[in-house]
């Protein structure tokens, strides 16, 4: 297991992505899975940066773990911001045109569709969101 703690700012998304990608490349992760994970990082870490500590800034920890048989990567996002379960948000109605849809929710919907497992819990004053991708 490897982890990094960094200020939850939009400017730090590339650093978080690079940290995770370094771990994925050492596993021989296929490019398609890596791109899906990178999009998930952008969405989920971006949400922490934009909403968890609003209007201030606080830390977020990103943890990368590997499971064997089947080979999978688990990425955990931990912050001490306002409690928020992104998995509890209703999926957008993708049958509607972009103009008729409510704003928001499409990024988390995309993460739900591309990851193999997502879990959320609020424990000891922390939001803990895990994504799992088989590689």
* Predicted pLDDT at 71: 93
Q: What is the CATH number of the domain that holds 57?
A: 3.30.565.10
Q: Binning pLDDT at 50, 70 and 90, where does residue 9 land?
A: very high
Query: Mean per-residue pLDDT for 99-109?
Result: 64
For the full predicted model, state whether its pTM sits above 0.75: yes
**How many domains in the chain?**
1
pLDDT tens digits, one per residue of 12-39: 999 999 999 999 999 999 999 999 999 9
Domain extent, residue 35, equals: 2-134
45 membership: H or E segment, kind and range: helix 31-47
For CA atoms 16, 18, 21, 26, give the dihedral sign. negative
* Predicted pLDDT at 103: 55
């Amino acid at each position: 297991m490897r982890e990094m703690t960094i200020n939850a700012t939009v400017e730090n998304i590339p650093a978080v992505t690079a940290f995770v990608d370094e771990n994925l490349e050492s596993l021989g992760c296929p490019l398609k899975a890596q791109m899906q994970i990178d999009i998930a990082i952008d969405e989920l870490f971006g949400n922490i940066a934009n909403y968890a500590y609003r209007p201030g800034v606080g830390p977020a920890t990103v943890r990368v773990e590997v499971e064997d048989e089947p080979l999978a990567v688990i990425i955990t996002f931990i912050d001490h911001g306002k409690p928020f379960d992104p998995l509890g948000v209703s999926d957008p109605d993708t049958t509607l045109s972009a103009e008729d849809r409510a704003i928001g929710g499409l990024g988390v919907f995309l993460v739900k569709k591309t990851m193999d497992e997502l879990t959320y819990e609020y424990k000891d004053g922390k939001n803990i969101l895990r994504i799992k991708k088989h590689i």
